[in-house]
Amino acid sequence: MIDWLAEAKKYQDDLFRDLEMLLTIPSVRDTEKATAEFPLGPGPAEALTTMLDLADRDGFSTKNVDNVAGRIEYGVGTETLGVFGHLDVVPAGDGWHTDPFKPVVKDGRLYARGSADDKGPAMAAYYALKIVKDLNLPLSKKIHYILGTDEESEWFGINRYLEVEPAPDFGFSPDAEFPIINGEKGIASFKVTFKNALPITGSVQLRSFTSGIRENMVPQNAQAVLAGHNLDNLSDQFTDFAAENELIADAQLEDQGLILSLTGKGAHALEPDAGVNAGTYLALFLSQLSLDQAGQQYVQAIAEVMHLDSRGRQLGVAYHDQLMGDLTASPDIFNYQAGENNSVIINIRYPQGTSATTINQQIQTTLAKFGNNIQSEIFGHAQQPHYVPASDPLVQTLLKVYEHQTGHQGQEQIIGGGTYGRILKRGVAFGAQFPGQPNVMHQANEYMPVADIIKATAIYAEALYELAK
């Protein structure tokens, strides 16, 4: 019997040295800085080469696929076990108490962007593979540890990998929760466009409205600029509105007009109720004013059918499945400039039984009451719901390992998040967030408990051995 936790603790210093180096890399997808060599920008590529260099150092075979994905390989056999991690992160955003790219350990927690999603779990899985290798354990299957670099956006890297490299037969992604995630809702974003068709003149005009930095993040900040007459009174109204709703407000009267800024709370879009959407709250406030027709249409639609509507009831897309639960809807990107076509991007996680096409039609029908200049379209790549039955040997083995390592009963789970686990027909997500821990992914001051990273390493090491022996 191998004491996997004791083995993991032997590597603790080395693991955290390597992890902290990885966390200092701001590996946000940045196509504005893309080159032929670095299609997703320099940050993701640097994180990938750093990880592959670690594996080369430790004697693994590695492969870099176009600086957008890579593989660490170990073992031989006719079957291949895949482990799928990602090295990109969402933008840091505001509200951090420390530098998001300078890791800090405080009160037993490692704070940094990517500590929980997904560099901490990814490094735990890497060191688990290193433990299996260093113990020279007999395996009958190959292990391919595959690393993507834009999981938080369009999955270009992992899709490119699968175009040119063989897909594993089965596997897991260390990018969610324990005890297991064997089902994931479908994920699609919808771009609602307000075509420039209405007057933008009036006593109070909406000049601009912006909120959100990523379509899978509940926006923490929002800002609008108003122009017109008698704007002084609005500052006090805005401050009172923010106080009533436990938000932070700032109003500044400058040459370009009255600038209204609102701060809520960011969160992962998989559960919008975990955040406080600054964008929809700002629209709610503005909808109570008498704006120009174009501006009023924009904020009225948001306030009436998107605000505090995490289950999509007002939007007309609500759906519930007994296995997968509720559909969730999160309006996450708001862009309005007077005199232009304007938009809202809504991120929706949907269970089996409905589809992205159906949802798009429902959005279009609901918004028609606000005007015939509004259109909805599926934005980016839509992902179908995914489920691996609880009876599958992969699920059963991983639950057995979890129970052995923790002493707690395991059970199947289905989430609204999307992981690389859905790439394979027999693919699941497995950790590394433990039950009872708050989900701080995509939030300011993201962290992962130090002890949990080591515990996850032990679980992953046993899992790799049990699945590949």
Edge to edge, what strands does the sheet with 80-86 contain?
Answer: 61-65, 69-74, 142-148, 80-86, 170-173, 427-429
> Who contacts 440 (Cβ-Cβ below 8 Å, separation ≥6)?
116, 446, 447
**Residues designated catalytic:** 88, 151
449 DSSP β-pair partners = 109
Q: Using CA atoms, how far apart are residues 417 and 378, in angstroms rounded to an integer?
A: 18
Omega within 30 of 0 (cis) for the link into 179 = yes
**Helix/strand/coil for 305:** helix
According to DSSP, residue 175 is labeled S
DSSP label at residue 368: G
User: 205-208 — which CB contacts under 8 Å span 24+ positions?
Assistant: 205/291, 205/292, 205/295, 205/338, 206/286, 206/291, 206/292, 206/294, 206/295, 206/296, 206/298, 206/299, 206/336, 206/338, 207/256, 207/257, 207/337, 207/338, 208/336, 208/337, 208/338
- Residue 187 in 3-state DSSP? strand
Contact 276, 247 (CB under 8 A): yes
**What totals of helices (H) and strands (E) does the chain contain, helices first?**
11, 26
What is the C-alpha separation between 310 and 354, in angstroms, rounded?
Answer: 17
C-alpha dist (Å) from residue 452 to 120, 122, 177:
10, 13, 12
Q: How far apart are CA 223 and CA 321, in angstroms?
A: 37
Helix runs in 135-182, H state only: 156-164
The two three-digit tokens of residue 189, written as one number: 């974003």
* DSSP reduced 3-state for 70: strand
